[in-house]
Amino acid sequence: MTVYGYARVSTAGQSLNEQKDTLKKAGADIIISEKYSGTTTTRPQFEKLVHLVEPNDTLIVTKLDRFARNTREALNLIDSLLKEKIVIKVLNLGTIDNTPMGRMIVRTLLSVAEMERDMIIERTQAGKVFAKQHNPNYKEGRPKRKKDSRNQAIFDYSKTHTVKVTAEAFNLSPRTIQYVKHLFD
């Protein structure tokens, strides 16, 4: 009987450390993690994990929404894991058991989470419409960064050097170098 933990964040800039630490403290022997949006159904590491777990193993996640952002997908996944006699522990909820009450609680919580996410999207869209109507200078999306001379120098240097060498030369992170290169693409 192995205890697996699954950690996921939605963007590359987010850290998995807090989830991993929490999963270790909860008893996870093996932790599988990835940086993938929950809105996508393709999560390679999670799919790998689902094939690894065996009957009587335990799967721990920090929150129910780590399974999926879509209620139907999460319910199907949880149902199939429970049928395979996999123990599912959601740290902010408890152990999900394969009883009518356990399944009802999961369905209710997933539905509320999906509704909350939909309401956030709805409010965001309403805010954009309001801003467009009341602010003549409103532009959708993030403001574009200017291609200043320092960025130009970094870009020029990166043409003949690796990202790592460029990052060291300018005392910046490789991620920043990639971003600057993207500005000039």
User: Which positions are annotated as active-site residues?
Assistant: 10
Q: What are phi and psi of 111, to 5 degrees?
A: -65, -40
DSSP line for 79-142: HHHHHTT-EEEETTTEEE-SSHHHHHHHHHHHHHHHHHHHHHHHHHHHHHHHHHHH-TT--SSP
Residue 81, both tokens? 């894991």
Alpha carbon separation from 130 to 123, 124, 126, 127 (Å, rounded): 10, 10, 6, 5
Closest residue by Cα to residue 2 from 82, 126, 86: 86
From CA 38, how far away is CA 57, in angstroms rounded?
A: 24
| Helix 71-83 and helix 100-134, axial crossing angle in degrees, nearest 10 | 160
From CA 138, how far away is CA 65, in angstroms rounded?
A: 33
